[in-house]
Amino acid sequence: MDITEKQQLLFHLNAVLVANSILMYDHIVTLPEELAFIWRRPKLLSPTLFLANRYVALVGNIFGLFIDFLPAVSDESCSRYMLVRELFLYLQQIIVCVILTLRIYALYGRSRRLLGYIVIIGLALMGGASAGSFGNNSNTAIYIQGSDCHNTFTAKIAMRYGLAWIAVFVFELLIFVLTVFRTCKTRGSPRLIPSSRNIIDIIFRDGAMYFAAMTLINLPNILTYYCGSVSTHCILQSGWLLPDN
């Protein structure tokens, strides 16, 4: 492993530590509210999805942290660990997409036609993400010597892995466009400072903030798969992003 790869790997490890520290701190400080407003409520669909999203993300990130600092093991063991990590990320994205879809379904007056279109588009994007993430998974990774379980890809393989993140971005863009359209149709031009008393304004505010945050994270991530160096692909594929939580 050359000096450039070591520097990028060190940057990656520091970024992972910071991101996971923020995530775990958030879990600790919001635990009292979670116990009061989620665990003590009847186990309906909404709190169930909330808990699934919250704890699949937490467990997945802890597992990813474990992999990042795992002592040297065989390539075969690393391959299995990385596959489990990909499955965690995949499951997290599915949960988030289900939650976003249900919000749009409610926002559009429980329109089954719209729900059907979103499900079809979502399944098509899921197929592309699956092909990118899991197609010939065991034969694509090259583990960097002296870097524990951090792997790298050729430019061609990196482009295939980037398809999964493009699929997520396209779906989130669709949800955002539908949210803005419904807000404009219901209340006119969305206000820069929406009212906290109107559910439509709250959905627009939260949706805009979520989309802006995820775009700022996902676009650089996607670009590294198509424009970055081989070693850069290693860093991003190994888990640069915090999942949507």
What H or E segment, with its residue span, contains residue 57? helix 45-68
Contact residues for 51 (Cβ-Cβ < 8 A; gap 6+): 38
* Between 124 and 180, the higher pLDDT residue: 124
What string of H, E and C letters represents the secondary structure of 131-197? HHHHCCHHHCCEECCCCCCCEECCHHHHHHHHHHHHHHHHHHHHHHHHHHHHHHHHHCCCCCCCCCC
CB 160 within 8 A of CB 111: no
The answer to whether residue 99 sits within a structural domain is: yes
The answer to whether residue 225 sits within a structural domain is: yes
> In angstroms, how far apart are the furthest CA atoms of the chain?
59
Domain with 200 in it:
3-237
The answer to whether residue 127 sits within a structural domain is: yes
User: pLDDT tens digits for 84-133?
Assistant: 888 898 899 899 999 999 989 988 989 999 999 999 999 999 988 887 77
CB 158 within 8 A of CB 225: yes
pLDDT at 114: 95
The answer to whether residue 39 sits within a structural domain is: yes
Overall number of domains in the chain: 1
The answer to whether residue 243 sits within a structural domain is: no
User: pLDDT tens digits for 42-99?
Assistant: 778 888 999 999 999 999 999 888 887 777 667 777 778 888 888 898 899 899 999 9
- Model pTM? 0.77
CA distances from 236 to 8, 26, 133, 222 (A): 10, 23, 13, 9
Nearest partner of 243 among 156, 159, 164, judged by Cα:
164
Q: How many CA atoms lie within 13 A of 47 on its CB side?
A: 12
The answer to whether residue 244 sits within a structural domain is: no
The answer to whether residue 245 sits within a structural domain is: no
The answer to whether residue 50 sits within a structural domain is: yes
Residue 239 CB coordination number (10 Å): 26
CATH of the domain at 105: 1.20.1070
pLDDT band per the 50, 70, 90 thresholds, residue 146: very low
